[in-house]
Amino acid sequence: MNRFTSAAVILALASGCTQTTTVTSTAGQATVATAATFNAGGAPTIEISVPEMVCEHCSQSVHEILAKQPGVKDVKVTLEKKVATVAVDEDEFHADEAIAALVDMQYKEAKLISAARGLKGDEPTRDPGDSGAPEHTAEGKAKS
């Protein structure tokens, strides 16, 4: 695989492309790359807002931190929206621990913005003075 082909495959994977891409090298050989589909197993998902995520390095760091958490099946980070979507095993995953891990790595404003139904004790809560966006602190308590 030449550099152009490698770059095209990496770009397709990094951009969240879920379609099969065929790239023909200068030698005339076709290389097929299939990017993985996020949450192909259909696991319940949560969304975490990470306002301090401002670059690709931050995005990769958030992905790695969340992927290491117990009960995480898959992670998709959207830098433009500053949101991480996490597919989880409801019996093993605890949002408060995942958020605490982000806070420990200097993403101090990380908060749960949506949760899977039935996720034990980790439902987002609403601040009465808020515009309706659910919030969840690193300690698993509602912001007042």
* 78 domain-assigned: yes
CB atoms under 10 Å from CB of 139, counted, come to 10
Domain extent for 14: 3-34
* SS3 per-residue string spanning 73-104: EEEEEECCCCEEEEEECCCCCCHHHHHHHHHH
Tally of structural domains, the chain: 2
* 106 domain-assigned: yes
Residues 30 and 49 placed together within one structural domain of the fold:
no
Q: Which of 2-6, 29-33, 69-73, 98-102 has the lowest mean pLDDT?
A: 2-6
Q: pLDDT tens digits, residue range 54-90?
A: 999 999 999 999 999 999 999 999 999 999 999 999 9
